[in-house]
Amino acid sequence: MKKTLETEDEKIQKICNLLKIETIEPAQKEAEKIIAAANQRAEQIILDAERQKEKLIEEAKRTIEQKHNVFQSSLEQAAKQSLESLRQSIEGQLFNTEMNRLVTNHTSNPNVIAELIQALIKAIEKDGLAVDLSVFIPNSVSTKEVNQLLGTTILSKLQDNSVALGDFSGGVKVKLNDKQLTLVITDSEIATLLSKYVRKDFRKLLFAKSQHD
């Protein structure tokens, strides 16, 4: 019996991992757009900072000519540190904010939610893991609308023949009541996974200049 339960747990984990990866793929193109837009905005901010740096250097040359070399070196270093801080700020505020917004908007769409639920239930039934299911959707989404998209066949498999509201903003949670396990594919889970795919490229674009300063 223990061996059977362990095998079912492995099946559940396999399904969860597979669906998380499949959820990432539809958002890849949008994520690339975010990177391109963020890079364009970041380049403009950095360009303005570079201009300000040059202005400060020129003023320093005129007013402190005698200590020019030492002062310029210090000012250059300070400017580089300021630019590095700016880039860090852009990554934290621009990238994270835009990524979370994208994922939440995408995974709070009733059609996307219905497709996720159908895919999860299909995978669960394929491996014969459970028949007693509870499905939770974002608290901002209409249960009535999602129920209509799912149809009576899917709803008949759910507890109370309906989805219920959860305490998250996007995605779904499917609880296997007879196994006391829950498959979690929420916006926060997806954003974390997606950021691992695109953050490296974003940082490469944003921080490339600092490698040549």
DSSP string, 141-189: S-HHHHHHHHHHHHHTTBGGGS-EE-SSSSEEEEEETTTTEEEEEEHHH
Residue 32 to residues 43, 123, 128, 202: CA-CA distances in angstroms?
Answer: 16, 29, 38, 9
Task: List the one residue out of 12, 10, 11, 7 whose CA is nearest residue 181.
Answer: 12
pLDDT at 85: 65
- Apex 162 CA angle, 184 and 144, nearest 5: 100
Number of structural domains in the chain: 1
Residue of higher predicted confidence among 205 and 80? 80
**What's the confidence (pLDDT) of residue 180?**
80
Given a contact cutoff of 8 angstroms between Cβ atoms, the answer to whether 191 and 108 are in contact is no
Question: For residue 212, is it within any domain?
Answer: no
E runs forming strands in the chain: 133-137, 164-165, 171-176, 181-186
Task: Confirm if 20 and 193 have CB atoms less than 8 A apart.
Answer: yes
pLDDT digits (tens, 9 = 90+) for 140-183: 999 999 999 999 999 998 988 999 999 999 999 999 888 888 88
If one compares 192 and 208, the residue with the highest pLDDT of the two is 192
Comparing C-alpha atoms, which of 52, 80, 38, 54 is closest to residue 209? 80
In a domain, 3, yes or no: no
Give the mean pLDDT of the chain: 75
Pair of tokens at residue 163: 């989805």
50-100 tens-digit pLDDT:
787 777 767 766 665 656 555 556 656 655 665 666 666 666 666 677 778
Backbone dihedral region of 175: left (phi > 0), alpha (psi from -120 to 50 degrees) or beta? beta
Indicate whether 213 belongs to any domain: no
Query: How many Cα neighbours within 13 Å face the side chain of 16?
Result: 20
| pLDDT confidence of residue 74 | 61
Sequence-ordered list of residues with C-beta below 8 angstroms from that of 33, at least 6 positions apart, any chain: none
The pLDDT value given to residue 32: 74
Q: Is pLDDT of 110 > 90?
A: yes
User: Does the structure show a pLDDT above 90 at 204?
Assistant: no
Amino acid at residue number 155 = L
Q: Give me the pLDDT at residue 162, please.
A: 93
Query: What residue numbers bound the domain in which 136 lies?
Result: 8-207
Query: Domain for residue 128, yes or no?
Result: yes
Q: Which of 82, 81, 38 is nearest to 195 (CA)?
A: 38
The verdict on residue 43 lying in a domain is yes
pLDDT of 92 reads: 62
Distance of alpha carbon 18 from alpha carbon 23, whole angstroms: 9
